[in-house]
Amino acid sequence: MKAANLTISVPYKGCDKNCPYCVSQMTGMVKSNPSLMMRNLPKVQTLANHAQVSSVLITGKGEPCLNMDATLRFIREFNKYPVELQTNGIYLDENRYYLTEFYNFGLDILAVSIDEIRQIREYSGLFKTTKDLGMTTRLCLNVTKKIPSNIAFNGLVTLCKNNHVDQLLLRNITKPKFARESGYTKWIDMNTSQIQYDTLVAQMEKFLEKFGRLLRRTAFGMEIWEYRGLSITKSSYCIQDANHDADIRSLIFMEDGHLYTNWDTKASRIL
C-alpha cells in the first residue's frame, strides 16, 4: 500500500462558519472517539511511514482550530513530515498568537479557505504573521456564485501578492458523487456554475501560458505553476471516492479513531 498523504480529521468541537456547501455534512458527520484516536495514533504513524506518505494534512468535519488542544497535538506528533493545517481562518485571525505555537510545534503550511474576495484583504494580517514566522500561506478560493462572475484572474493574482499569500488554489465546489440529496446539495445546484469555474480557469491558463512557468505535475494530475514567486494551481474535484492500493491519494485518520481511504463510507476502513 502506498499513499501520497495522511489526512487527520480533528475531533469535532463545532464550526464557526456554517458553509451552505459544507462537504462534511454531505459525506456524513462522525461520532468522535478521542481516546481511540490516541490508542491508534502509533499504529497510524507506522502505517503512514510504511505507505511512504510525503505530507500530513490536518483538517476536520468542523473547524479544527475550535479544538486547539487536539490540533496542536497532531501537529507535534507528525512534525517529522511536512504538516499543513486547513482552516476557515475566523478563529485564528482573532487569536493570532497561536501561530507562534503552530510554528514551534512544527506546522509548515497554513491553508485558509475563503469564499468571498473581500476576505483576502481581511486576512492580510493573518497571512503576514504566518509568513513572517517562516511558514507558507496558502489561499484556497472556493468558487461559487458568491465570487463575482466578472472577477479578473490577473486582479486576483494582484490581491494575493499584495496580501502576503504564497500559494493560490482555485477550488471547484461540487457534490460528492455518492451524496444524498439535502439542503447542501440543493444549494450547490443553485449557487455554483461549472461555466463560472471553467471561465476563471481559462483566464488562469491564458495568464500562466503568457506570464507563468510550469513547475511540476503531481501524481494525481495537478499542475503547479509559478508567477513572480506566487504558486498557482486548481482543484476541479477534491473528494476522494476511490483508490488503488498502489496510488491512494490520502489515508484518512477519522475522529472515530479508525483509518480509512474514503470520506463517505466506513467500508473503506483499514484500521
Domains and CATH numbers, the chain: 3-268 (3.20.20.70)
Three-state DSSP string of the chain: CCEEEEEEEECCCCCCCCCCCCHHHHHCCCCCCHHHHHHHHHHHHHHHHHCCCCEEEEEECCCHHHCHHHHHHHHHHCCCCCEEEEECCHHHHHCCCHHHHHHHHCCCEEEEEECCCHHHHHCHHHHHHHHHHCCEEEEEEEECCCCCCCCCHHHHHHHHHHCCCCEEEEEECCCCCCCCCCHHHHHHHHHCCHHHHHHHHHHHHHHHHHHCEEEEECCCCCEEEEECCEEEEEECCCCCCCCCHHHEEEEEECCCCCEECCCCCHHHCCC
In this model, does residue 241 exceed pLDDT 60?
Answer: no
Q: What tens digit of pLDDT does each residue of 134-169 get?
A: 999 999 999 999 999 889 999 999 999 999 999 999
Residue 240 has pLDDT above 60, yes or no: no
For the full predicted model, state whether its pTM sits above 0.75. yes
